[in-house]
Amino acid sequence: MSKRAELYRVVRDMKNYLRWQQASGAAGSVPAPAAEREAFEARQKAREKAKLDRLTKQLQGGGESSSRASSPSSSSRSSSSPSPSHKPQAAPSQDKPASEEQPAKKPSFNPFGSKEQKKTPEAPKSQGGSTPWKSGIGSRPRKRFGGRKQTAQKAKAPTSERAKEQKAQKAKEPTSERAKEQKSQKPKEQRRPKAQQQPSNEPPPMEYGSFYADEADMMPPADYDPSGMTMSAARPSEQPQKSAASKKPKKKEMTNAEKLEFLEKYLGDCQRCGLCEHRTNIAFGVGDAQAKLVFVGEAPGYNEDQQGEPFVGKAGQLLDKMIEAMGLKREDVYICNVIKCRPPDNRNPHPEEIKECSPFLRKQLQAIEPTVIVTLGKFASQFVTGEQESMGRLRGKWHEWNGVPVMPTYHPAYLLRSPQQKKNAWSDLQMVMERLGLGGS
Ligand code: URA
Predicted pLDDT of residue 51: 83
Beta carbon of 305 within 6 Å of any ligand 1 atom? no
- CA 61 to centroid of chain Cα atoms: 51
Render the burial of 122-146: b for 16+ CB within 10 Å, e for the rest.
Answer: ebbeebbebebbebeeebbebbeeb
Distance 206 CA to ligand 1 centre (A): 22
Distance 260 CA to ligand 1 centre (A): 20
Beta carbon of 337 within 6 Å of any ligand 1 atom? yes
Residues 6+ apart with CB under 8 A from 423: none
| Residue 122 contacts residue 153 (beta carbons within 8 Å) | no
Beta carbon of 297 within 6 Å of any ligand 1 atom? yes
Beta carbon of 309 within 6 Å of any ligand 1 atom? no
Beta carbon of 361 within 6 Å of any ligand 1 atom? no
Which parts of the chain have pLDDT scores under 70? 1, 20-21, 24-33, 61-247, 251, 441
Distance 52 CA to ligand 1 centre (A): 116
Q: What is the 3-state secondary structure (H, E, C) of 30-82?
A: CCCCHHHHHHHHHHHHHHHHHHHHHHHHHHCCCCCHHHHHHHHHHHHHHHHCC
> Residue 439: CA atoms inside 13 Å, Cβ hemisphere, count?
4
Distance 373 CA to ligand 1 centre (A): 16
Predicted pLDDT of residue 244: 59
Mutate which of 304, 305, 364 to test ligand 1's pocket (most atoms within 8 Å of Cβ)?
Answer: 304
Instruction: Please state the atom number of ligand 1 nearest to the C-alpha of residue 309.
Output: 6
Predicted pLDDT of residue 78: 35
Predicted pLDDT of residue 57: 82
Q: Which helix (H) or strand (E) holds 334?
A: strand 334-337
Beta carbon of 300 within 6 Å of any ligand 1 atom? yes
> Cα(176)–Cα(179) distance, rounded to whole angstroms?
5
Report the candidate in 276, 273, 297, 301 with the shortest Cα–Cα distance to residue 285: 297
Predicted pLDDT of residue 246: 64
Phi/psi of residue 409, nearest 5 degrees: -145, 175
Predicted pLDDT of residue 247: 67
Distance 348 CA to ligand 1 centre (A): 12
Beta carbon of 298 within 6 Å of any ligand 1 atom? yes
Return the axis-axis angle of helices 314-325 and 422-436, rounded to nearest 10°.
Answer: 50
Mutate which of 309, 311, 375 to test ligand 1's pocket (most atoms within 8 Å of Cβ)?
Answer: 311
Write the burial class of residue 27 (CB in 10 Å: 0-12 exposed, 13-18 middle, 19+ buried). middle
Mutate which of 275, 284, 295, 298 to test ligand 1's pocket (most atoms within 8 Å of Cβ)?
Answer: 298
Predicted pLDDT of residue 5: 84
Phi/psi of residue 49, nearest 5 degrees: -65, -45
> Residue 135: CA atoms inside 13 Å, Cβ hemisphere, count?
18
Q: In what order do the strands lie in the sheet with 372-376?
A: 286-287, 334-337, 293-297, 372-376, 404-409, 399-401
Predicted pLDDT of residue 24: 61
Distance 272 CA to ligand 1 centre (A): 20
pTM of the model: 0.50
Instruction: Please state the atom number of ligand 1 nearest to the C-alpha of residue 377.
Output: 3
Predicted pLDDT of residue 133: 30
Beta carbon of 375 within 6 Å of any ligand 1 atom? no
Beta carbon of 320 within 6 Å of any ligand 1 atom? no
Largest CA distance in the chain: 167
DSSP 354-405: HHHHHHHHHHHHHHH--SEEEEEHHHHHHHHH-----HHHHTTS-EEETTEE
Beta carbon of 304 within 6 Å of any ligand 1 atom? yes
Q: Output DSSP code: residue 213.
A: -
> Cα(8)–Cα(95) distance, rounded to whole angstroms?
32
Distance 215 CA to ligand 1 centre (A): 24
Predicted pLDDT of residue 243: 61
Beta carbon of 30 within 6 Å of any ligand 1 atom? no
